[in-house]
Amino acid sequence: MNLILVERIDSNKRGSLQKPLWLIFIGKKMPSIEKIWSKYLRRFAVDHWYRFIKQRLHWTLPALSTPHKCERWSNLMPLMTWQLWLAKDIVKESRLPWQKSQSNLTPGRVAQSMLGLLVEIGTPAQVPKPRGKSTGWLKGKKRNKRTRYPVVKKGKSANKKAKNKKN
């Protein structure tokens, strides 16, 4: 791990430095400063992708019970992004009345337009079963209760206790 301090001169104030910028590089071979700076500038695209998967693809929405399930759900996010990117040229734009038409669809607009493509492709799911009384739980099948974990409660800090005693 290499720690890099970037100090820049403020163009508005003669000779004074802007706030220092600390960067960390983790890797086997340290690249040149120019390459590090170009990668730093690409962080905006990565930040927007994280915002997109949180808001549009609901990355943080499910309350999954195990780290394994969380990791599996997180592994689906790049796959969903690639599917949207690949479907960009196939889908017909489906926009809301207040949205302007786009020639180059964004991933969000592609996600909005995917319904038509999914209807055309169809589904591998079976036809729904008719309504009626369900068969219920099979006899002799063992039921396992979900593992419960104790709730971790945050205690009061020592500073608050000391302030309360003084008053």
Q: How confident is the model at residue 154 (pLDDT cuts 50, 70, 90)?
A: confident
Q: Which domain holds residue 10?
A: 1-31
Residue 51 and residue 110 share a domain:
yes
Q: Predicted confidence band at 23 (pLDDT cuts at 50, 70, 90)?
A: confident
Asked if residue 161 has pLDDT above 60, the reply is no
Residues 64 and 17 in one domain: no
Count how many domains the chain has: 2
Tell me if 20 is assigned to some domain: yes
Q: Say yes or no: 6 and 61 in one domain.
A: no
Query: Which tokens go with 13?
Result: 């104030």
Mean pLDDT of the chain: 84
The DSSP string of 17-58 is: B---EEEEE-SSS---HHHHHHHHHTHHHHHHHHHHHHHTS-
Instruction: Please determine, for residue 71, whether its predicted confidence score (pLDDT) is greater than 90.
Output: yes
Would you mind telling me the total number of residues written for the chain in this entry? 167
- Mean pLDDT for the stretch of residues 80-100: 87
The per-residue pLDDT for 162 is 61
Q: Give the Cα separation of 104 and 10 in Å (integer).
A: 38
pLDDT > 80? residue 115: yes
The residue to which tokens 């997109």 are assigned: 52
Q: Based on the domain organization, do 3 and 56 belong to the same domain?
A: no
Q: What is the mean pLDDT of residues 134-158?
A: 84
111 in a domain, yes or no? yes
Average pLDDT over residues 8-23: 78
Same domain, 23 and 61: no
Q: Taking 80 as the threshold, does the pLDDT of residue 20 lie above it? A: yes
Asked whether residue 162 is assigned to any structural domain, the reply reads no
